[in-house]
Amino acid sequence: MTPYHSNGFIGKEINAWINETRKNHHDLFEIAEKINRECYSAIDDVTIDTNNFKKTLVACLFARCMELFQGVYILVSHGMSPSSNIILRALIEAVFVLCAVIKNDEALEAYVLAGEHERLKITRKLLADKNTPLSAEELDTLKKVECELALQNKQLSAKKHSTEEYAKKADLHSWYLTAYAKTSWAVHTTIRDMDQYLVFDKKEKLKSIMFIPTNEQSEMVLATSCDILLISFKEFLNLFGKDTSIYNNYAEQIEKIMRA
């Protein structure tokens, strides 16, 4: 029995794995940390004008991209392959939106209005709950909110955008067809993804169910997260009138590491 069977990824035993993983992929982890620091420096350096809605929204989206990037970094270092792929997919999707919002006003409008559509959807789900703990007074208030949101959504003309549409407007459709598509198995818990938890004996009989840290795909996942974060970083810098030459420098470094 491995030590991970006691506490899994949250036990003290995982620290040895983290140290070994960082040692084996030192250059990649180091470049990821450098990119992360550059992003922090950039977001601290820009002045956010709250009267400029697009820039304010993009700054928030960039902060989300940074947080998701750090999530990938942590999960990869812990050997959590399926989870790191899930967060990578979320990161890629966030970058689609950020770049689309910068480049296309229709995408910006669709993204903002999508929030209102979601509010209406959630309100209707709450009202449909037969076992709701809400009081009659609270339900009446919720019904008024539903009417207001329904009227507002009816008056809105912007078309709802799919993830693919955001990717196209972001000029990142190739990412949608490749890196984004490849993470689907982890997000949707497909049957093919369940094989990794099965342990067989020499006679091919099921021995146990087990999940332990793995380096499978870890290098590619972290490198991909660096690449996509850099794309959002470049667009962020460009929107705020900053020098974007740093993008090419780090992109080349990551390519060299992956070719080595």
The full 3-state SS of the chain, as one line of letters, equals: CCCHHHHHHHCCCHHHHHHHHHHHCHHHHHHHHHHHHHHHHHHHHCCCCCCCHHHHHHHHHHHHHHHHHHHHHHHHHCCCHHHHHHHHHHHHHHHHHHHHHHHCHHHHHHHHHHHHHHHHHHHHHHHHCCCCCCCHHHHHHHHHHHHHHHHHHHHCCCCCCCHHHHHHHCCCHHHHHHHHHHCHHHHCCCHHHHHHHEEECCCCCEEEECCCCCCCCHHHHHHHHHHHHHHHHHHHHHHCCCCCHHHHHHHHHHHHHHHC
- Between 80 and 148, the more confident residue is 80
Cβ neighbours for 38, distance < 8 A, ≥ 6 positions apart: 233, 246, 250
Nearest to 175 by CA among 220, 257, 231: 231
65 and 227 Cβ atoms separated by less than 8 Å? no
- Between 195 and 43, the more confident residue is 43
61 and 98 Cβ atoms separated by less than 8 Å? yes
Query: Tens digits of per-residue pLDDT, 151-205?
Result: 666 655 556 789 999 999 999 999 999 999 988 877 877 777 777 777 787 878 8
**Confidence class of residue 5 from pLDDT cuts 50, 70 and 90?**
low
Q: Are strands 198-200 and 206-209 parallel, antiparallel or unpaired?
A: antiparallel
> How far apart are the two ends of the chain, measured CA to CA in Å?
35
φ/ψ of 104, rounded to 5, equals -140, 120
Over the chain, what is the mean pLDDT?
A: 87
Q: What is the mean pLDDT of residues 122-144?
A: 79
94 and 61 Cβ atoms separated by less than 8 Å? yes
Please report the pLDDT score of residue 199 as a whole number.
Answer: 78
Please report the pLDDT score of residue 203 as a whole number.
Answer: 79
36 and 73 Cβ atoms separated by less than 8 Å? yes
**Confidence class of residue 4 from pLDDT cuts 50, 70 and 90?**
low
Nearest to 170 by CA among 247, 244, 240, 104: 104
- Between 119 and 238, the more confident residue is 238
**Confidence class of residue 1 from pLDDT cuts 50, 70 and 90?**
very low
CA 218 to chain centre: 16
**Confidence class of residue 53 from pLDDT cuts 50, 70 and 90?**
very high
Q: What is the mean pLDDT of residues 89-107?
A: 96
